[in-house]
Amino acid sequence: MKIRLIEPAPTHINMFSYTYLPRLGLPMIGAALKTADHDVVIYCPELRPIDWADVLAADLVGLSSTTSTAPAAYEMADKLRRSGVPTVIGGSHVTFMADEALEHADYVARGEGGDALMLDLIDALEGRRALATIPGLSFRRDGAAIHNQQRKRCPDLDALPVPDVSLIAGSEKLRLTPIMTSWGCPFACNFCSVTAMFGRAYRYRSAEHVMAELEEKRPQRIFFYDDNFAADRRRLKTLLRMMIAGGRVVPWTAQARADVVKDPELLDLMRRSGCERLAIGIESVNQATLDGFEKSQSVEDVARAIDTLHEYGIASHGMFVLGADTDSVETIRDTARFARGHEIDTLMLNILTPAPGTRLFAELDEAGRIFDRHWDLYDAQHVVFTPAQMTADELQQEVLRAYSRFYSAGQGLKYVAALRFGPLALHGWHWWFLRRWARESGNRAYLKMLGRAPLGGRPAMQLTADHTAVRSRG
């Protein structure tokens, strides 16, 4: 079959626009399809525009989406359906909103295991099996939605196909090589969709399997995609030792928890194997918020982690989540002060976002506090619910101001004086991002809707009708 796969771009500019990294679901599916001798091309519009003449001539099109890219995926699915091209859509959002997705696509792939599901679906389309026998598939029969039983989780990640990013049109533009070594997270933050999608059981590829991928791809820089790279320290140490012994020492970045610094041996191996930056899930400098997130860490743990990373020459990227019921305007201001005081190199201020499938979504939805369901705003950069201790407008504005306080000209000059050109480049990108975000037409309309001036504006629960009117005017 001629199969085309598409990862839609988000509607709004986001923090990853500077260094685009594709999600690995479609490259993994593409690798499986290529092995089965299908004609496969993956389109990521942020790397190269979609060749719609090519896509509309396909036998099957697969779309992958998050919550914030679901509207773009639905629009594409509608276009394909009108042209008579069979379409399947997968991803975390549609896993929990399958009925919604079936309004646009012919088939919905729920949960993990998209590579096996696609091969099963092809068999069904070619008459070799029935749709009802494919685990994880949703479809319509005589107008009624059919949701087959969930596909079992993969117990052995070494059995999965290695993602083939070369199938992405424009892949030569990628600056970092994305490598996945594990799925799942043993912790249970209530806002996180990772455990909802992949469970709390931490599953990982063997060090030998990862090394084989590194030997084949020979990357110059790596971003490890794991949600918690150091969840199993013994296993990670083995991998890092093999990277060092095998001459695969290149600059790399990964995500980890603050408790990674409790193991000096691990930190030494990280430094020696090329770790240049760790993205730390700090979430909050408000202990009550950390406890509410079930983060299992203290503010003191976070401060110690940042200082220790600096001692090992590893840069820190602090990731925060703002807007919990225990957060106030002062919490957001404290976050910027904390980040500067502890010399966090770069930071990301995520607005608490109730993604479908999470406990947070269920709780806020039941309480009637979600005031906007335009999914393109569910990107952790827009407020879509009523906060407890401030208005939606205050939360939005204070986050933007906290960014501006951190990414100030003075902070940039400190990097210049210290000849730290890596952090300076990232600082410049974030500075540019903030100004682009505020000037984007959709965001200007959104900020106006929230009641940009004076600060505080109108009650958040009155915004739904106004937002619809603003968006309908473009």
pLDDT of residue 451: 66
Q: Is 319 exposed, middle or buried (0-12, 13-18, 19+ CB in 10 A)?
A: middle
Contact 295, 189 (CB under 8 A): yes
Task: Work out whether strand 144-147 and strand 315-322 pair parallel, antiparallel, or are unpaired.
Answer: unpaired
CA distance 99 to 79: 19
pTM value is 0.89
Both ends of the chain: CA-CA distance in Å?
39
Query: What are the pLDDT digits (tens) for 337-364?
Result: 999 999 898 888 999 999 998 989 999 9
Residue whose tokens read 């619809």: 468
Residue 413 has a CB neighbour count (10 Å cut-off) of 12
Query: What are the pLDDT digits (tens) for 376-385?
Result: 999 999 999 9
CA dihedral 259, 261, 263, 268 (to 10 degrees): 150
* Identity of the amino acid at 10: P
Contact 154, 112 (CB under 8 A): yes
CA distance 468 to 472: 6
Give the list of residues 6+ apart from residue 70 with CB closer than 8 angstroms, or none.
91, 93, 94, 97, 101, 375, 376
Residue 366, helix vs strand vs coil:
helix
Which stretches within 377-420 are classed as H helix?
392-406, 409-417
How many separate helices (H) and strands (E) can be counted in the chain? Answer: 19, 15
Domains with residue ranges and CATH for the chain:
2-139 (3.40.50.2300), 176-312+332-339 (3.20.20.70)
Residues in the chain: 474
Residues in the chain with pLDDT values less than 70: 15-19, 185-200, 409-427, 429, 451-474
Query: What are the pLDDT digits (tens) for 445-454?
Result: 888 888 643 3
CA dihedral 132, 136, 138, 139 (to 10 degrees): -40
pLDDT of residue 441: 82
pLDDT of residue 196: 65
